[in-house]
Chain A
């Protein structure tokens, strides 16, 4: 059952919100011991009382939202008042925010029910969810394999249908990549569409909270809930029309699709190349034109720009974790400066420390011009090259990841090898453009593959239309389900 179908059954009286909550906790009890998607769950009794309140409001027509009463899981870097928000880090292991993120306010107003907080790579830095300080989340399709990251817990919770919806965050692909690995739909909207107020920052010029669901319609419905102008976020954008569910139209006739490629041929897993070819053929058969288009950068160049800027911003954003006001502190027999060092050394995991040091390096006085400033200018160059494509194309088609099915036991011999998985997703973060990953078949091991669609700035409507059409027209055997 989709989230929208569930919402309908609740409004029709076929299901009570209480029943839905009971079923949710049953499913979690059955599945999550193995999957390890959740870092924390709200007390069932408390949630049942909330369910009754929401039921009242639905009965009295106070709450009429299409998702009222639907359960949702929240990535643990999004602040939820009264509920621990850890970023999967020892640094914030016992941290309880004193306010809700704006997206949480929106979710509560729509009458949705927050069940718990999900596992992630520590401070959203990673592509496997193995960098969590607490637990590794397993792929519901095959528990020997990674869920991807950093929103791995959110992806697994939805893919295993413990909850129909979840929120993740995406800085370099952290919603789209785990969505692809787990076989669900995940979207990062245009930068500024969804408020970052209450999102614990990793790289402020790229972070975006986004919806994760089993299908495009639910994804659009959830985006409608969380997209809003917010005066608490100075990068928030006022958009008049956020009724994305109206764009769920099965039609791409006359649309111009660009099959995006990097300057040098990048090795793609064969099954992913097949999926892209299949999507291309399907779009053509449905009346769109699909043309290959190349941008004048290699994947390595684009990735490097991303890592320089993301690590630089992260090193600055994570300076606040010093043990003084909140969070973990280690101060046995210390001076103040020793306290800072011990706190940060013990509180942060190795991936976080790596990125902070790289960030400090590129921002240091002697290197600033050479790395950071140069990366900023190349980012502008990338933005301007991609923006030219919208003269000729409505939507771009590209892979979500270059690989599928990464075994949990596989040790990344090189740090940079893990980074390379992001080569197709970082583009949307650097250019601030909306991008969605939809499931499109399985690889030779039976693990899901995702394909990615990118749109022009604030053109989510067009993006949803193409995604919805592709989804509706997939051959039955390509539809990935568990």
Chain B
């Protein structure tokens, strides 16, 4: 399995990363190396092994952990304070909303 230009572009799209020409060459080498390394998994025949995938050791401790669909913060004031705290961290904000670039430009790109 070799990392081609097409595959690298596909991975960049999936990962939402943009690499320069030089970075692409480096990335191709690195990924090829990593892929070559993990080829060793082909050495292990797993058809004979039980096919179920389960959380080893955890069976006795918990499966399907659920909780009630209620907010755990007790005080409404705490909720309000947290909200402001979160919005203060926003890269770009307008009142109580997060501002992002227009999505409509993408349609034009296509």
Contact = CB atoms under 8 A, between A and B. Distances in A.
Interface in A329-344: 329, 331, 334-342, 344
B74 interface: no
B61 A192 contact: yes
B56 A383 contact: yes
Given A300-B40, A329-B92, A335-B103, A414 B33 contact: yes
Interface in B1-40: 7, 10-12, 14-19, 23, 26-27, 30-31, 33-35, 37-38, 40
Centre residue among A298, A335, A336, A354 by max chain B CB count within 10 A: A335
Contacts of A235: 58, 62, 65
B71 interface: no
Interface in A232-284: 232, 234-235, 237-238
A344 B16 contact: yes
A337 B14 CA distance: 12
Interface residues of B, number: 54
Main secondary structure of the interface of A (DSSP, over half): helix
B104 to A, nearest CB: 9
A231 B14 CA distance: 33
Nearest to B54: A380
B100 interface: yes
A142 interface: no
A1 interface: no
Given A336-B103, A342-B18, A431-B56, A354 B34 contact: yes
A293 interface: no
Interface string A432-452: 100000000000000000000
Interface size bucket, A side?
A: 35 or more
B43 A358 contact: no
Given A304-B37, A377-B53, A238 B46 contact: no
Contacts of B67: 231
A234 B63 CA distance: 9
A340 B16 CA distance: 6
A329 to B, nearest CB: 4
B102 to A, nearest CB: 7
A307 B34 contact: yes
A334 B101 contact: yes
B33 A335 contact: no
Interface stretch (A176-184, A218-226, A317-325): A317-325
A168 B3 CA distance: 35
B56 A375 contact: no
Contacts of A373: 53
A374 B46 contact: yes
A326 B86 contact: yes
Interface string B51-76: 11110111001100101000010000
B17 to A, nearest CB: 5
Contact of B56 (A232, A298, A322, A380): A380
Given A304-B40, A357-B12, A414-B33, A337 B91 contact: no
A358 B49 contact: no
A237 B59 CA distance: 11
Nearest to A239: B61
Nearest to A355: B34
Centre residue among B35, B89, B92, B102 by max chain A CB count within 10 A: B89
Given A301-B40, A414-B33, A416-B33, A380 B100 contact: no
25 contacts: A98-B89, A191-B57, A232-B72, A234-B62, A235-B62, A322-B16, A324-B91, A326-B91, A327-B91, A329-B91, A335-B101, A335-B103, A339-B100, A357-B27, A357-B31, A360-B11, A361-B31, A378-B46, A380-B53, A380-B56, A381-B49, A387-B57, A414-B33, A432-B57, A457-B57
Interface of A: 95-96, 98, 190-192, 231-232, 234-235, 237-238, 297-298, 300-301, 303-305, 307-308, 315, 319, 322-329, 331, 334-342, 344-345, 348, 350, 353-354, 356-358, 360-361, 364, 371, 373-378, 380-381, 383-384, 387, 414-416, 419, 431-432, 457
